[in-house]
Amino acid sequence: MYIPLIVNEILRFALQEDAGHGDITTSYLIPEKSKSKAHFIAKERFILAGLPFVGEVFHILDSTAVLRPFYNDGARIKRGDIIAELSAKTHAILMGERVGLNLVQRLSGIATLTNIYVDRIKDLKAKITDTRKTTPCLRFMEKYAVKVGGGYNHRFGLYDGILVKDNHITVTGSVRKAVKKAKMGHHLSRIEVEVRTLKEVKEAIEEGADILMLDNMSLDDMRAAVKIAKGRTLIEASGNVNLGNVRAVAETGVDLISVGALTHSAFSVDISLKIVK
């Protein structure tokens, strides 16, 4: 798996944050040349995500480190499963343990939660997408975990998609004016616009918007927006989507459902690392 340079740098900063000028406990107790094997062990059920990043963590600390996975990302893990075996210098294992575990636990939590959302609407056409509500500096990894869980990625950042939101509309003056100005941009960029009323839905469609983001609309208004669009634009539902209402939202006929909770409210799963004697 390709890991961007910026992710490698983030992992280095994470290790620096934890180890500082060195792991003083390990340096006192363990000979520098000592080598060990360790197992990553699941303590509950979840969807696995993040092993490539874990391998990178230990490779930064020890260029000879080898992470041998017994399961691939996306696998359904059971309590007691040995997920992977790590062979490396003992110092590297102990120094990278917390950073590696924090990553795989969080990313697996995101993948697991995403998969629950996806499963709720698996027989309907709507797709579950993420948002930019990610942990600062962890966006690449968290969005990767969403895909592992069966979801889709929305735009990665401000630079790779035009999304006209409420504050843009406030400053510009109206949905109509905002879409007109946006269409003067790059001709290959699709234009998505956030709309709050059916009147704004009609304005955005008339001005040639490609995607409509229905912001906190009622289910009735969502259904009406889908009928107004008549397939001329993609329809995305957004705002206050949860596991209790995601199916009802999908049943309105929308094409996409963006869920900030996939990343900002995901739980971390329980995994341990144990050195094998």
pLDDT value of residue 73: 98
Q: Are strands 76-77 and 191-195 parallel, antiparallel or unpaired?
A: unpaired
Do 112 and 62 meet the contact criterion of CB atoms below 8 Å apart?
A: no
d(CA 78, CA 62) in angstroms, rounded, equals 30
Whole-structure pTM value: 0.95
**Is 169's pLDDT higher than 90?**
yes
Q: What digits encode the pLDDT tens for the residues 122-158?
A: 999 999 999 999 999 999 999 999 999 999 999 999 9
pLDDT (0 to 100) of residue 277: 82
- As beta bridge partners, residue 129 has 152, 258
Q: pLDDT class for 185, splitting at 50, 70, 90?
A: confident
The pLDDT of residue 117: 98
Give the Cβ contact number of residue 224 at 10 Å.
Answer: 15
Quick one: pLDDT band at residue 1, thresholds 50, 70, 90? confident
DSSP calls for 139-195: HHHHHHHHHHTT-B---SSTTS-EEE-HHHHHHHSSHHHHHHHHTTS-TT--EEEEE
As a whole-number percent, the residues of the chain with pLDDT over 90 amount to 96
Which one is the CATH code of 123-264: 2.70.170.10, 3.20.20.70, 3.40.50.12780, 3.30.70.100? Answer: 3.20.20.70
* Chain CA centroid to CA 36, Å: 33
Please write the tens of the pLDDT for every residue from 99-112. Answer: 999 999 999 999 99
For the domain spanning 5-118+266-276, the CATH number is 3.90.1170.20
Q: Model confidence over 219-239: pLDDT tens digits?
A: 999 999 999 999 999 999 999
Q: 189 pLDDT band (50/70/90 cuts)?
A: confident
Q: What is the pLDDT of residue 80?
A: 98
**pLDDT (mean) for 63-89:** 98
Token pair 């050195």 is found at: 275
The answer to whether 239 and 260 are in contact (CB under 8 A) is no
Residue 188, pLDDT > 80, answer no
* Averaged pLDDT for residues 174-194: 91
pLDDT at 235: 98
Average of per-residue pLDDT across 252-259: 98
Q: What is the pLDDT, as a whole number, of residue 187?
A: 76
67: β partners:
86
Q: Say which DSSP state 80 is in.
A: T
Backbone angles phi, psi at 53, to 5 degrees: -75, -35
Catalytically active residues are 98, 133, 165, 194, 215
Residue 186 pLDDT greater than 80, yes or no: no
Residue 74 and residue 173: Cα distance in Å, rounded? 45
* Domain residue limits, the chain: 5-118+266-276, 123-264
Task: Locate the DSSP E strands across the chain.
Answer: 35-42, 46-47, 66-69, 76-77, 82-89, 127-129, 162-164, 191-195, 211-215, 234-238, 256-258, 271-276
Average pLDDT, rounded, for the chain? 96
Give the least confident one: 85-89, 184-188, 212-216: 184-188
Q: How far, CA to CA in Å, does 74 sit from each of 81, 83, 90?
A: 14, 12, 29
Tell me which residue of 226, 245, 224 sits closest to 236, measured CA to CA: 226
241 DSSP assignment: -
* Location of structure tokens 């229905």: 214
